[in-house]
Amino acid sequence: EAGVAQSPRYKIIEKRQSVAFWCNPISGHATLYWYQQILGQGPKLLIQFQNNGVVDDSQLPKDRFSAERLKGVDSTLKIQPAKLEDSAVYLCASSLARTSGRIREQYFGPGTRLTVT
């Protein structure tokens, strides 16, 4: 079974520039998550999709971050304009759709390391 794919793996940009990350979840996984992991910290959820609908984006800085999952499969996360404090690893994860009483495992991609200079 292929895992969660992300690209690019690394990105270096200057502050105020724009950047976009791409994620392809495991086939059949309806739920997709984007996390931000700052060095030395645990991942922080940015946004959660169920198919192509947003379930939770309460911690997404909407003035500069946006995400979409138009066809309910692949997703892109964009930052515009980037700030120094956006330097982090951006992780994408996916899981099966929610089923009552069942625990859903989340599978993580390798992440995209963003450096803002």
Partner 1 sequence: KNQVEQSPQSLIILEGKNCTLQCNYTVSPFSNLRWYKQDTGRGPVSLTIMTFSENTKSNGRYTATLDADTKQSSLHITASQLSDSASYICVVISNFGNEKLTFGTGTRLTIIP
Return the residues of window 46-105 that contact partner 1 according to CB under 8 A.
48, 55-56, 91, 93, 98, 103-105
Residue nearer to partner 1 on the CB measure, 39 or 63: 39
Q: How far is the CB of 72 from partner 1 (least distance, A)?
A: 18
**CB of 17 vs partner 1, minimal distance in Å:** 23
**DSSP β-ladder status, 31-37 and 44-50:** antiparallel
Site residues for partner 1 per CB under 8 A = 4, 40-45, 48, 55-56, 91, 93, 98, 103-106, 108-111, 113
